Amino acid sequence: MTHANCKLRTALAIAIAVVLSLSSCMAYAQSAAVPASTLALSTGFKFVEMSGEELFVNVCRGCHMSDGKGAAGAGTYPSLAGNRNLEASGYPVHVVVNGQRGMPPFGAMMSDDQVAAVVNYLRTHFDNNYQDAVTAEDVKIVRR
């Protein structure tokens, strides 16, 4: 695969993730009876959400579903619920920053604090109980 094709695939994956995230957010607004105008949506390349829950709802939930159990259809989106791969904190940090298989890399779109927040949220929700918190410094190390 040429470098240009690789860049095009990455850009396409990011665009798809953004569209899925926006549609997920709109569905959430409708299901929660929250007016869409009150939701904080990222308008540029960087996400504005800061809490792990906000990031999950607006970025991750479109693929991994609201219960974190993933989905299958046009693609396979792995379950995050009770996921033993989240035990080693460096693994989900690496996946969020660099992407993996069909998941686009979100590292350029999230700060170190945002990556740490969403990883900590995943590791303490959805039947996961990994209490050793990831820090922004941990994320910096993965980015090197």
* Per-residue pLDDT, 73: 86
| Mean pLDDT along residues 51-77 | 93
User: Does pLDDT of 10 surpass 50?
Assistant: yes
User: Does pLDDT of 98 surpass 90?
Assistant: yes
pTM beyond 0.75 = no
* Per-residue pLDDT, 42: 60
Model confidence pLDDT, tens digit, residues 22-44: 554 444 444 444 444 445 556 67
Q: Which comes out higher in pLDDT, residue 87 or 26?
A: 87
Single out the residue of 85, 83, 55, 84 nearest to residue 70, CA to CA.
Answer: 83
Domains and CATH numbers, the chain: 3-143 (1.10.760.10)
Round to whole Å and give the CA distance between 32 and 2: 45
User: Does pLDDT of 46 surpass 50?
Assistant: yes
